[in-house]
């Protein structure tokens, strides 16, 4: 029995020491005032539209968003571009279609029903263009990473010079929030990289916040509807509980107590 207890204590010691070392090595994620957090959270429309601009001008060269269609840009709960604006955005991209009546493939302007244009023809082409690393699809990236929006935001702002004891291969960069601290994606953002149409100053932090907001919406487009439904359900349950309580109180008031 004593041997079992000793072994158990050793296992616990190793477990907690490993956890403490991991937590010491992993920096705390950056926080910002996300409008979509909380019971009444909703997306900032202006931030979503700016985020789409950052994706198009910065991220779309490598990262796909295969689950989004151009019509989603004008749907309620999203960036809410007007339908004409969404059509104009779609038409600015050339989509490979076909075959036509002669059996040939052809290009045409994208329509609202089309999926977002893919940056590469296939996975192998994507790897070849990025030093063997495959740029992940960004459609549900926020939900696929532990830490969610805070992790994506921190990652975008987490590039720095590596410690002196860490050597990086060519094409590899140091990011203190990346798992393993090594990433093949170059620094994606810098002050003034894009020019926002609404006059917002395009700082590195602002662009990181906007693109993360856009990615959060793409991963959870029905968040606002879910929040509204949840709030209504809570109100309904409160009212129902009150009615049940009053009903039971009235019923029991008619029952004579026997002493």
Domain identity same for 143 and 244: no
Q: What is the pLDDT of residues 129-141, one digit of tens each?
A: 888 889 999 999 9
Q: What is the torsion angle, in degrees rounded to the nearest 10, for the CA atoms of residue 14, residue 20, residue 24 and residue 27?
A: 120
Amino acid 20: pLDDT: 42
Would you state the pLDDT for residue 259?
Answer: 55
pLDDT at 16: 46
- Is residue 83 a part of any domain in this protein? no
Instruction: Verify that 150 and 184 share a domain, yes or no.
Output: yes
Give residue 53's region: left, alpha or beta (phi > 0; psi -120 to 50).
Answer: alpha
* Whether residues 119 and 243 fall in one domain: no
Cα–Cα dist 241/228, whole Å: 20
Residue at 166 is within a domain: yes
**242 and 120 share one domain:** no
Residue 97 resides in a domain: no
CA–CA dist 71, 90 (Å, integer): 8
**Number of structural domains in the chain:** 2
Position 25 scores a pLDDT of: 61
**Within this chain, do residues 226 and 167 fall inside the same structural domain, yes or no?**
no
What CATH number is given to the structural domain containing 200? 1.10.760.10
| 245 and 128 in a common domain | no
Same domain, 188 and 173: yes
Q: Check residue 257 and give its pLDDT.
A: 61
Domain housing 236:
222-252
- Examine residue 37 and state whether it is found in any structural domain, yes or no: no
Both 137 and 149 in a single domain? yes
> Per the domain annotation, does 248 fall within a domain?
yes
Does 244 lie in the same domain as 123? no
- 182-183 and 173-174 as β-strands: parallel, antiparallel, unpaired? antiparallel
Tell me the mean pLDDT per 10 residues along the chain, length 259: 48 47 66 91 96 97 96 95 96 92 91 95 91 92 94 97 90 93 94 95 98 97 84 83 86 69
Same domain, 145 and 177: yes
Give per-residue pLDDT as tens, 52-86. 999 999 999 999 999 999 999 999 999 999 999 99
Q: pTM for the whole thing?
A: 0.81
Strands (E), 3-109: 94-97, 106-109
Question: Within a domain: residue 31?
Answer: no
């Amino acid at each position: 029995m004593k041997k079992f207890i000793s072994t158990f204590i050793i296992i616990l010691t190793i477990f907690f020491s490993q956890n403490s070392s991991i937590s010491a090595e992993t920096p705390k994620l950056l926080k910002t005032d996300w409008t979509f957090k909380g019971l009444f959270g909703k997306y900032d429309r202006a931030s979503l539209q700016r985020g789409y601009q950052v994706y198009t001008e910065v991220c779309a060269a490598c990262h796909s968003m295969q689950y989004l269609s151009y019509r989603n840009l004008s749907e309620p709960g999203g960036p809410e571009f007007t339908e004409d604006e969404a059509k104009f955005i779609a038409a600015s991209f050339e989509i490979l279609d076909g075959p036509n009546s002669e059996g040939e493939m052809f290009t045409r302007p994208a329509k609202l029903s089309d999926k977002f244009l893919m940056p590469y023809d296939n996975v192998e082409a994507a790897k070849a263009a990025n030093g063997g690393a495959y740029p992940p699809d960004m459609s549900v990236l926020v939900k696929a990473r532990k830490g969610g929006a805070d992790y994506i935001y921190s990652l975008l702002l987490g590039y720095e010079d590596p410690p002196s004891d860490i050597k990086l291969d060519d094409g590899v960069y140091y990011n203190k929030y990346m798992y393993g601290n090594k990433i093949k994606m170059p620094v994606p953002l810098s002050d003034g990289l894009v020019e926002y149409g609404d006059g917002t100053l395009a700082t590195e932090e602002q662009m990181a916040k906007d693109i993360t907001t856009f990615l959060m919406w793409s991963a959870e487009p029905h968040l606002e509807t879910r929040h509204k439904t949840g709030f209504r359900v809570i109100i309904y349950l409160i009212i129902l509980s009150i009615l049940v309580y009053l009903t039971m109180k009235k019923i029991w008031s008619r029952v004579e107590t026997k002493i």
